[in-house]
Structure 1
């Protein structure tokens, strides 16, 4: 391209010189093409005698240059080359790449917008909401069901069996805290509240016995019904008659303490479905794991109902009164 421009420039210079030389030699034919002042100025210049062929050849060369220049300007650019120079081609290329990248970004943006607004996206959102709502509903339902089960079990423990008669109770022979041998027949004709424990119990047994004797007084106060509180040891090795006597007098004067040999304690515990077991020993000091239940026995020493640890003094007293009143009527 640069060589072409240089060639055209040289041809233009040569043609210009030839044109001015021709005008100087022949001012008349070309004076109409010039301004009057320039035409007068050129007419006073001395003419140089040259061959007419040179002037005609210069004019023809000038015409050829002008014609080739016009044709070149009007001719279309080559199919494989852009019509501009290298800088313009680079800029066009960069602008083309920019337009292409811009087009891709616009296409991606349009695609994302179409996805956000498409039915598939809305269906996914709705499905997510329904799934989350279903999980929350299922969790709440299971939680309520679990709470109801716990409440039902607690109510069953609190109220005891509502129908039929459990095979709890039976004959026994033990020693009371006064050292006297007694049997189940000695408690007939009275409403009896029985609790199984041991004197070395650190906290549970004292709490349950305090609740038991307080309920006995409240039952007497509310209904006038006499009940007998009874404590039976499940630790025959340490709970001697003397030990039981010292223990029961700390709670209530009506509380009766019973103990016996290991076989006798095992027999009465089996009859009343009481669980007990010694725990790990350390220097002859041990604890006894056992059932925490208060049994209500009728005047014929038949089982009526049991009350669990979750009952307080008032609920225990009211429960006992509720069970006894039908028998009195």
Structure 2
């Protein structure tokens, strides 16, 4: 860090250099009348009162110009010193400033389970939760993912004594009503909690968790759903710790969950 003495020395050198460059311009002339034996009339004699290299008697210019220059140097040093005081070094400063790390995933929701009871995000608090977004009319991806979830929670509980709450949130509430969803999930694992609800509520939750889905109309009244098939691991504080894709199998998923828990305070 530059000190005040270093800054003062630097500006002093700059000042001397400036005065040397301006030497031809900064001379002050005065007239002094004196008698001469050669001339009967008095004529003025011109003397240089102030010059950079001349050694003359002190005058007002001798003090005013250096004082003005030193005042400028002091002002510049003061401003620079204040700038240094305001500067924050790397790793220091106010640590309470929020750092934007990316889009926030998750948020409040209000849906109903397979027993038509209202479920909100507060009901998941206090549990390690594996939240999956899908739909029961999926021909292959969703059934495979539900089987993987069922095996993964078995491995975590039997081998590691870790309980994870599995939750299935439908993105097709028009067909996945509570009774249909209950019968569907029962075929895979009765521990899986099914969530459905009004279209607007389901869409809002999907938006909160950055889940993409789109209805693709077909002939008649039939339709398909294009979806991202997101699966999230939530902490007991409802923080999203990991997002898992369809590339995890029944052995990889529980290990990935354990790795995420080990990194979590």
TM-score range, shorter chain: 0.5 to 0.7
Deviation of 1:282 (Å): 2.3
Deviations 1:122-175 (A, max 9, x none): xxxxxxxxxxxxxxxxxxxxxxxxxxxxxxxxxxxxxxxxxx575111010000
2:164 counterpart of 1:227 = yes
Picking from 196, 200, 208, the partner of 1:271 is 208
Pick one of 134, 141, 156 that aligns with 1:204. 141
Identify the residue that residue 289 of structure 1 maps to in structure 2: 226
**SS of the residue 1:304 aligns to:** strand
* Residue 312, structure 1, aligned to residue 249, structure 2: yes
Deviations for 1:25-44, whole angstroms, at most 9, x for unmatched residues?
A: xxxxxxxxxxxxxxxxxxxx
Which is richer in helix?
1
Runs of 4 or more, structure 1, over 4 Å off, are none
The corresponding residue for 2:75 is none
SS at 1:254 equivalent: coil
Q: Counterparts of 1:166 and 1:221 in 2: how far apart (Å)?
A: 35
Residue 222 of structure 1 deviates from its aligned partner by: 2.3
CA contact (8 A) 1:240 1:259 kept: yes
Deviation at 1:267, TM superposition (A): 0.4
SS of 2:166 mapped into structure 1 = strand
Deviation (angstroms), 1:302: 1.0
- Aligned-residue offset at 1:221: 1.9
RMSD: 1.6
Tell me the distance in 1 between the aligned counterparts of 2:218 and 2:181: 21
- Of residues 238, 247, 255, the one that matches 2:192 is 255
What's the counterpart of residue 27 of structure 1? none
Match of 1:184 among 91, 99, 121: 121
Q: Secondary structure, in 3 states, of the residue corresponding to 1:237?
A: coil
Gaps of 5+ in 1: 1-163
Aligned residues: 166
Cα shift readout 1:99-138 (whole Å, capped 9, x = no counterpart):
xxxxxxxxxxxxxxxxxxxxxxxxxxxxxxxxxxxxxxxx
**1: CA distance, partners of 2:258 / 2:250:** 12
* Distance in 1, Cα, partners of 2:173 & 2:197: 6
Residue 275 and residue 318 in structure 1: after superposition, are their counterparts in 2 closer, same or farther (change >3 A)? same
* TM-score relative to the length of structure 2: 0.60
Q: Give me the whole-angstrom Cα distance separating, in 2, the residues matched to 1:300 and 1:271.
A: 16
Counterparts in 2 of 1:2-41, with a 5 A limit? none
Q: What is the rounded CA distance, in whole Å, between the counterparts of 1:299 and 1:281 in structure 2?
A: 41
When Rg is computed on C-alpha atoms for both structures, the one with the higher figure is: 1
Structure 1 CA distance for aligned equivalents of residues 161 and 174 of structure 2: 38
How far apart, CA to CA, are the structure 2 residues paired with 1:165 and 1:227? 26
The 1:166/1:215 distance shift into structure 2, 3 A limit, reads farther
